[in-house]
Amino acid sequence: MECSENYQLLALRAPWIDIMKDIAPAVSPPVEIGDRKPANQAVLDWVQDVAKLTQPENVFWCDGSDRENEFLIEQSLQQDVLIKLNEKKVPRSYLHRSNPNDVARVEQFTFICTPTKEEAGPTNNWSDPAETYSKLQEMLKGAMRGRTMFVIPYIMGPPDSPLTKVGFEITDSKYVVLSMRIMTRMGEVAVKRLGNDPKAEWNRGVHSLLDVDPTRRFICHFPQDNAIISVGSGYGGNVLLSKKCLALRIGSYLARKQGWLAEHMLILGVESPEGKKHYVAAAFPSACGKTNFAMLIPPKHFDGWKVTTVGDDIAWMRIRDGRLHAVNPENGYFGVVPGTSYKSNPNAMKSIEHDTLYTNVALTDDGNVWWEGKDGPPPKHAIDWKGNDWTPDSKEKAAHPNSRFATPMRNNPVLDPDVEKGEGVPISAIIFGGRRSDTLPLAFQAFDWNHGVYLGATMASETTAAATGAVGQVRRDPMAMLPFCGYNIGDYFRHWIEIGKRLSNPPLIFNVNWFRKGENGKFLWPGFGDNMRVLKWIIDRCEKTGGAVESPIGWLPSPHDVDLEELDVEHKCIVEILGIDHEEWQKELNAHKTFFDSLGGVVPEELLKQREKLAARFKL
């Protein structure tokens, strides 16, 4: 059989078409695979309880070894969970298709189950813990019959960091096991870190695909128990419980209790030609440019400048010597595929050329992957993300707009050398940014910490395909944490203010917007590598060498404060994107008020005062 036909055939056997077949049949591992039980009695008891409830055919204890991984890949290929890609074009890489009803995070079915509704606050869905446990237990009864129950030990954070947390995820999805091996430090390292103390703290995560029915899809967090239960989904953000569930929702809850910060932020290093290095952390909402910014390649004009990646999605930050220090709790990137190209993000392209697990991209006839925005012309024929024939004339997209890659961070050619440093990297600047077609200028700097907290708290962004629901609607997304803050947002703001008081050397706080549009509806700013120009201004401000003018909203760079050398953008566009329009800002100010009012009295006094001061500065 021709290679091309082979790939088409595989594509047509997408598992969700065959409704009679169980979507996750059990595997029968040979001896010495799947049998390495940890010794900790609390883990053993918990696994036994979950097994009693879900009744799997067998229990598979994951150790993260190569042999285990090879076995699970082979089983996944046999069960059509994965399609092997062309070994020459994308070595050791695979394509997974999730159910078309299950392609993004489901915020409306995500719950914070604290003892009281007030603890979850006005921005979270809340449900009563006892009722929710009992509802989920009902759904999980016998849910793993005929399936294998995998037990995944993992840690979040570098092995020698004081912030590092142990988690165990139980799942009946092989895709989850394979992804967790990329995204976390999995296996022995976690078992060792946990040790034998049955009272040691660790996160309990239970996931079952059930029957991938959207009406039985719930992502529930029990912060007071350090526990997560996720049912009915097989999509990354809903099921890789290490990531949004533990590192952000439970993480932010623990962070407040323990006096640190768990944030939806990239962390990058930026080194000048003279060898002076700064680290910055940036919070942009989902699909708003974190991965791209974290891997930025400076334009030619910035010869000698180097950007390195510590993390692309999550930062855990603690205070050390009066400064914020950040670690990336993850071990891999679960990044947006569409729009990724050698032109926009060469480092991401190099990262995903091999050893990558793709979800919901298109498959070409020669076994390669394709997506909208990839370099070169589209293929004449491909199989789209749903498994259907696709040609450039098709009305539908070949790759889902929220198709993703999972790739080990080790694949990144610009991985920062200090990524494993347990104490973290010192943060010189924090950047907030959203996707705003109007109002928000390219960049500005907060006057001080509390003003910076206000910028974060009032951030807004146009919604994207990363979550189900309408795309392109402006919504307030404080600190890019709206879907990820595991407790009351008012307490979260207060926690930020308190952290500021404890910092003798706080990072400067900035706001950026790569997405402002001109009258013709086109982006005014080229973005991507050219964002280095803004980053350089930010570094100059940290070094106290950069210029800016005082404006009502903060310190604004003038055109001559930003290095625009060799940039092919008309001067009038530069003036437009750097400037602020007082009428637009009146609306923005009103929107801030509406947002704060909608939170029902939880907003700290300091931030209400910041709004008044902002309004007053416009009246001067």
The owner of tokens 């029902």 is 600
Partner from Mn ion, ligand SPV, ligand GTP, none contacting 236, C-beta within 5 to 8 A by type: ligand SPV
Q: Hey, is 190 helix, strand or coil?
A: helix
Active-site residue flag, 288: yes
Contact 225, 241 (CB under 8 A): no
Q: Judge contact between 592 and 458, C-beta under 8 A.
A: yes
Considering the complex, what minimum distance in angstroms separates the CB of residue 404 from ligand GTP? 8
CA–centroid distance for 12 within its chain: 31
Query: By rule CB under 6 A, what string of x and - marks binding of each residue 228-267 to ligand GTP?
Result: ----------------------------------------
Q: Does 431 bind ligand GTP (CB under 6 A)?
A: no
φ/ψ of residue 219, rounded to 5: -115, 105
Nearer to ligand GTP, 104 or 508 (CB): 104
For the chain, how far is it from start to end, CA to CA, in angstroms?
77
Q: Do residues 158 and 422 touch, judged by C-beta distance below 8 A?
A: yes
Question: Pick from 36, 185, 221, 244: which binds ligand SPV (CB under 6 A)?
Answer: 244
Q: Which residues are within 8 A (CB) of 6 and not within 5 positions of it... i.e. 6 or more apart?
A: none
Q: Of 11-19, 22-30, 236-244, 407-415, which part binds ligand SPV (CB under 6 A)?
A: 236-244
Number of CB atoms found within 10 A of residue 210's CB:
20
Q: Mention every residue, 6+ apart, whose C-beta is less than 8 A from residue 435.
A: 284, 285, 288, 461, 462, 464, 513, 514, 515
Under the binding rule (CB under 6 A), the answer on residue 236 touching ligand SPV is yes
Q: Which residue is catalytic, options 113, 220, 245, 288? A: 288
Find out whether 371 and 384 touch, Cβ atoms under 8 Å: no
Report how far Cα 69 is from the mean position of its chain's Cα atoms. 24
Q: Judged by CB under 6 A, does residue 523 bind ligand GTP?
A: yes
Residue closer to ligand SPV by CB (options 172, 312) is 312
C-beta closer to ligand GTP: residue 109 or 514: 514
Footprint of ligand SPV on 104-123 (CB under 6 A): 105
By CB under 6 A, is residue 528 in contact with ligand GTP? yes
Cα 213 to chain center, whole Å? 24
What 3-state class would DSSP assign to 343? coil
Which residue type occupies 189? V
Helices 174-183, 66-78: inter-axial angle, 10-degree rounding: 140
Query: Is residue 334 involved in binding ligand SPV (CB under 6 A)?
Result: yes
In the complex with Mn ion, which residue's Cβ is closer, 149 or 250? Answer: 250
Positions 270 through 309 that interact with ligand SPV (CB under 6 A): 286
Closer residue to ligand GTP in complex, CB, 521/601: 521
d(C-alpha 422, C-alpha 157), whole Å: 8
| Choice from 80, 313, 477, 561 touching ligand GTP (CB under 6 A) | 313
Give the range of 243-251, 288-296, 364-372, 485-493 binding ligand GTP by CB under 6 A.
288-296
For residue 172, state whether it binds Mn ion (rule: CB under 5 A): no
Q: Which is nearer to ligand GTP, 187 or 557 (CB)?
A: 557
Q: What angle do CA 139, 482, 616 make, to 5 degrees?
A: 155
Cα–Cα distance for residue pair 602/478, rounded to 1 Å: 14
Residue showing tokens 């290093």: 269
Does residue 313 bind Mn ion (CB under 5 A)?
Answer: yes
Look at residue 29 and give the partner it binds from Mn ion, ligand GTP, ligand SPV, none, a contact being a CB closer than 5 to 8 Å depending on partner kind.
none
Is residue 288 close enough to count as binding ligand GTP by CB under 6 A? yes
Between CA 446 and CA 433 the distance in angstroms is 13
Site string for ligand GTP, 326-345 (x = CB under 6 A): ---------xx-xx----x-
Distance CA 73, CA 83 (A): 10
- Draw the binding track, 72-111, toward ligand SPV (x: CB under 6 A; -: no contact): ---------------------------------x------
Q: Which two tokens stand for residue 274?
A: 């003279």
Q: How far is the CB of 50 from ligand GTP (least distance, A)?
A: 30
* Separation CA 194–CA 334 (nearest Å): 26
Residue nearest ligand GTP, Cβ-based: 527
Residue whose structure tokens are 């004449």: 380
- Partner interacting with residue 237 (select from ligand GTP, ligand SPV, Mn ion, none; CB below 5-8 Å by kind): ligand SPV
The smaller minimum CB distance to ligand GTP, of residues 187 and 285, is found at 285
263 touches Mn ion by CB under 5 A: no
* 243 touches ligand SPV (CB under 6 A): yes
Report how far apart, in Å, the C-alpha atoms of 594 and of each of 37, 458, 472, 588 are.
Answer: 53, 10, 20, 10
What is the contact surface with ligand GTP in residues (CB under 6 A)? Answer: 284, 286-292, 312-313, 335-336, 338-339, 344, 466, 514-515, 523, 527-528, 531
Which residues of this protein are in contact with ligand SPV, per CB under 6 A? 105, 236-237, 243-244, 286, 313, 334, 466
Q: What amino acid positions are annotated as catalytic residues?
A: 288
Which chain residues interact with Mn ion by CB under 5 A?
286, 313
